[in-house]
């Protein structure tokens, strides 16, 4: 059974939640980087 098997694909709600978590992690990482740069320059 392959990971790409369409029968084993996660439900739509789970995929949306995973996408939202990925976006939240990206935004958080960018915000932390900007904050660190701002604190170093201040």
- 18: Cα separation from own chain's centroid: 7
Whether 35 is in a domain gets the answer yes
Q: According to the model, what pLDDT value does residue 3 have?
A: 60
1-42 per-position pLDDT tens digit: 556 566 667 789 999 999 999 999 999 999 999 999 999 998
Q: According to the model, what pLDDT value does residue 5 have?
A: 61
Q: What is the pTM of this model?
A: 0.63
Whether 2 is in a domain gets the answer no
Whether 6 is in a domain gets the answer no
Q: According to the model, what pLDDT value does residue 2 have?
A: 57
Pair 8, 1: CB distance under 8 Å: yes
Q: How many domains would you assign to the chain?
A: 1
Q: According to the model, what pLDDT value does residue 7 have?
A: 66
32: domain range? 12-41
Whether 31 is in a domain gets the answer yes
């Amino acid at each position: 059974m392959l990971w790409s098997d369409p029968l084993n694909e996660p439900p739509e709600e789970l995929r949306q939640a995973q996408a939202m978590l990925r976006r939240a992690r990206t935004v958080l990482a960018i915000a932390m980087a900007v904050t660190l740069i701002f604190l170093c320059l201040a």
